[in-house]
């Protein structure tokens, strides 16, 4: 069940950077470009699992040097940024924005988006939303849910290509990075509520899309052993007990789980008894038309606002 | 072991997601139809439930996906699960030619620090479960196909431990080593009782791997005992060479 509320702000040492006032795609900045993915990836054999629903699992995702940079960047975010508690979900969040810098940028590059989507064989739009989720020790179980939700982005001028054009090939997996990559368009809560679709400024046009792919990359965590909790549970049914998943992905650093968001991609956070849990989480998206043609118009899990 | 009539032999492998199970499954799947039994950890070789993809070239066929194993998730400490595993393997392939028992659990602590607390489970998994699987396969299949057993040289390889062979203490390994000692004796009895059905049973007893001996040597020893004519024997993988006892 999707809900969308939240307001508590985690104490921070300094204020979050202000958001861009105009809708835009992520553009290159003066910061040095990241190395190409083929130099950052340590594991060129991603495991595609079918149970309890199709998902990709990867350990040793990045080369150790880059993984360490990501850990450090995560620690910096957690110590210095304003993290917002969801309220309805026992976690704090920090969101990607146009000002995101350093190694965390890798997760909002078109190359990363299209690579992950291609591995799962999913056609996605340029839209990306996500950031870091932090769970304090003893955070409550989440609810078993699918992430098969409608969400909303501001309509942007099209600086580099057609926003209606899918970013990654559907069904036919193709080489990531081939062809022209549509630039990433990040969610911009100061313009449109990602889950509510409410325009925050007059004149902003809104694009509804649906979540198509989610990935979780675990980082900045203490070494995990069985019994620590904090896993991402995967389930066969929405009615399955949270603490009895069909599969559980431990939050071991430099590992990743990704899956297509479908009416049956049931998953949940499982309470972390001993250690804090941190991950990068992000969603890629697909058009509403594609959702309706595949699953019908009534299948989307509407947010309760 | 050669297949008959072009059929690949069927190998039932327990502990398939462990260090040795991963090495065995990866090495033997080119020659066997591998039934890979695991519990908690995920397999690291392909099965009907998992494949591999190059994220930068997802359309590229990978050698790792050729000849996938048949994966079964089971808790072998549950006797009913053992029967289920045997039934599934036989229903899928119609036979089992080789049983390799690589499932195991570590011992834990020294005796004075609670080392006996997990002993019942250690004995259950390391000594009794391998024999139970062999008995269930015998009752369901091997007992009824003596000619096929002989023609295919059907066999069991149980994974023991070199530490089971002497009284020198391997601190913290009392339960583990004594359970493996029991497995040695049980395998000897099993070999004797299965001889009328032409099914062989042996033990491979390695020194600790991969710390003392390379895992590849243990795989080679298992492969050797599958192919050998021996029964009721133990191949010990010492750091300085193998010894057939």
| pLDDT more than 70, % of chain A | 81
- Identify the CATH number of the domain in which residue B180 sits: 3.40.50.720
Look up residue A254 and give its two tokens: 């430099």
Residue A227 has pLDDT above 60, yes or no: yes
Residue A301 has pLDDT above 90, yes or no: no
Domain assignment of residue B130, yes or no: yes
ipTM of model: 0.82
Q: Report the predicted TM-score, pTM, of the whole model to 2 decimal places.
A: 0.82
Residue A83 pLDDT level (bands cut at 50, 70, 90): confident
Residue A305 pLDDT level (bands cut at 50, 70, 90): low
Q: From the list A50, A119, A174, which residue is nearest B53 (CB)?
A: A119
Q: Which residue has the higher pLDDT, A298 or A270?
A: A270
DSSP state of B17: T
Domain assignment of residue B210, yes or no: yes
Candidates B56, B68, B73, B106, partner chain A, best to mutate (most A CBs within 10 A): B56
Residue with tokens 């990978």: B62
Q: Name the residue range of residue B153's domain.
A: 10-244
Residue A7 has pLDDT above 50, yes or no: no
Domains observed in chain A: 54-158+176-224+238-295 (2.60.120.620)
CB B215 within 8 A of CB B163: no
Chain-chain contact of B55 with A176 (C-beta, under 8 angstroms) = yes
Chain-chain contact of B57 with A176 (C-beta, under 8 angstroms) = yes
Helices and strands (DSSP H and E) totals, chain A: 4, 14
Residue A19 has pLDDT above 70, yes or no: no
3-class SS string, A199-224: ECCCCCCEEEEEEEEEEEEECCCCCC
Rg (alpha carbons) of chain B, rounded to whole number? 18
Q: What is the pLDDT of residue B163?
A: 87
Which residues on chain B are in Cβ contact (under 8 Å) with A252? none
Chain-chain contact of A48 with B42 (C-beta, under 8 angstroms) = no
Lowest mean pLDDT among A113-127, A157-171, B7-21, B225-239: A157-171
Candidates B38, B40, B44, B53, partner chain A, best to mutate (most A CBs within 10 A): B53
Q: How do residues A229-277 score in pLDDT, each as one tens digit?
A: 999 999 999 999 999 999 999 999 999 999 999 999 999 999 999 999 9
Across the A:B interface, residue pairs with CB atoms under 8 Å apart total: 61
Which residues on chain A are in Cβ contact (under 8 Å) with B50? 47-50
Please state the domain count of chain B. 1
- For residues A112 and B37, what is the distance between their CA atoms, to the nearest angstrom? 35
Distance, first Cα to last Cα, chain A: 11
Which residues on chain A are in Cβ contact (under 8 Å) with B48? 50
Domain assignment of residue B5, yes or no: no
CB A281 within 8 A of CB A133: yes
3-class SS string, A97-141: CCCCCHHHHHHHCHHHHHHHHHHHCCCCCCEEEEEEEEECCCCCC
Q: What is the pLDDT of residue B175?
A: 84
How distant, in Å, are the alpha carbons of A50, A266, B8, B98, B99 from that of B35?
A: 17, 28, 12, 10, 9
Which residues on chain A are in Cβ contact (under 8 Å) with B51? 47-48
Concatenating the DSSP letter of every residue in A155-184 gives ----TTS-TTS-SS-SSS---TT-SPPPPP
CB A256 within 8 A of CB A57: yes
Per-residue pLDDT of chain B (245 residues; tens, 9 = 90+): 555 566 899 999 999 999 999 999 999 999 999 999 999 888 999 999 999 999 999 999 999 999 999 999 999 999 999 999 999 999 999 999 999 999 988 877 777 777 777 788 889 999 999 999 999 999 999 999 999 999 999 999 999 999 888 777 676 677 888 899 999 999 999 999 999 999 999 999 999 999 999 999 999 999 999 999 999 999 999 999 999 99
Residue A52 has pLDDT above 90, yes or no: yes
> Cis omega (within 30 of 0) on the bond before A52?
yes
What lies within 8 Å, CB to CB, of B117 at 6+ separation is B108, B109
Domain assignment of residue B82, yes or no: yes
Residue A18 pLDDT level (bands cut at 50, 70, 90): very low
Q: What is the pLDDT of residue A31?
A: 76
Look up residue B152 and give its two tokens: 């295919």
């Amino acid at each position: 069940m999707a809900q969308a509320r939240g307001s508590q702000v985690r104490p921070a040492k300094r204020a979050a950077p202000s958001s861009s006032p105009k809708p835009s795609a992520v553009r290159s900045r003066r910061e040095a470009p990241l190395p190409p993915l083929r130099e950052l990836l340590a594991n060129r054999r991603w495991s595609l699992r079918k149970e309890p629903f199709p998902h990709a699992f990867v350990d040793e995702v990045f080369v150790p040097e880059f993984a360490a940079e990501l850990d450090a960047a995560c620690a910096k975010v957690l110590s210095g940024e304003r993290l917002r508690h969801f309220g309805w979900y026992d976690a704090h969040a920090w969101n990607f924005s146009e000002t995101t810098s350093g190694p965390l940028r890798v997760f909002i590059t078109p190359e990363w988006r299209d690579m992950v989507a291609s591995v799962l064989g999913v056609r996605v739009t340029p839209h990306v939303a996500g950031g870091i989720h932090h769970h304090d020790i003893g955070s409550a179980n989440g609810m078993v849910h699918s992430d098969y939700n409608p969400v909303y982005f501001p309509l942007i001028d099209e600086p580099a290509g057609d926003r209606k054009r899918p970013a990654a090939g559907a069904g036919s997996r193709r080489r990531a990075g081939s062809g022209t990559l549509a630039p990433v368009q990040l969610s911009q809560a100061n313009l449109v509520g990602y889950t509510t679709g409410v325009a925050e400024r007059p004149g902003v046009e809104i694009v509804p899309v649906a979540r198509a792919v989610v990935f979780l990359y675990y980082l900045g965590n203490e070494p995990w052993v069985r019994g620590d909790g904090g896993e991402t549970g995967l389930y066969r049914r929405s009615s399955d007990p949270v603490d009895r998943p069909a599969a559980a992905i431990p939050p071991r650093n430099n590992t990743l789980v990704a899956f297509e968001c479908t009416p049956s991609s049931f998953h949940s956070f499982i309470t972390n008894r001993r250690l804090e849990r941190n991950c990068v989480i992000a969603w890629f998206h697909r058009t509403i038309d594609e959702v309706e043609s595949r699953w019908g118009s009534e299948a989307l899990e509407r947010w309760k606002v | 072991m050669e297949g008959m009539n072009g059929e690949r032999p069927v190998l039932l492998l327990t502990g398939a997601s462990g260090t040795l199970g991963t090495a065995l499954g990866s090495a033997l799947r080119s020659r066997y139809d591998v039934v890979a039994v695991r519990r908690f950890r995920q397999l690291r070789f392909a099965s009907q439930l998992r494949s591999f993809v190059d994220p930068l070239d997802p359309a590229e066929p990978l050698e790792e996906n050729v000849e996938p194993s048949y994966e079964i998730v089971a808790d072998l400490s549950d006797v009913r699960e053992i029967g289920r595993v045997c039934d599934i393997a036989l229903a899928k392939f119609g036979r089992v030619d080789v049983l390799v028992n690589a499932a195991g659990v570590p011992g834990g602590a020294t005796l004075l620090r609670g080392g006996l607390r997990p002993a019942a489970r250690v004995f259950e998994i390391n000594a009794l479960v391998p024999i139970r699987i062999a008995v269930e396969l015998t009752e369901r299949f091997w007992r009824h196909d003596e000619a096929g057993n002989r023609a295919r040289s059907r066999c069991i390889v149980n994974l023991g431990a070199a530490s089971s062979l002497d009284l020198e203490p391997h601190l913290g390994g009392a339960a583990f080593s004594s359970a493996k000692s029991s497995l040695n004796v049980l395998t000897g009895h099993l070999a004797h009782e299965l001889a009328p059905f032409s099914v062989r049973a042996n033990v491979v007893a390695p020194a600790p791997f991969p710390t003392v001996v390379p895992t590849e040597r243990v795989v080679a020893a298992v492969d050797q005992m599958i192919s050998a004519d021996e029964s009721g024997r133990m191949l010990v993988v010492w750091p300085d060479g193998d010894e057939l006892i």
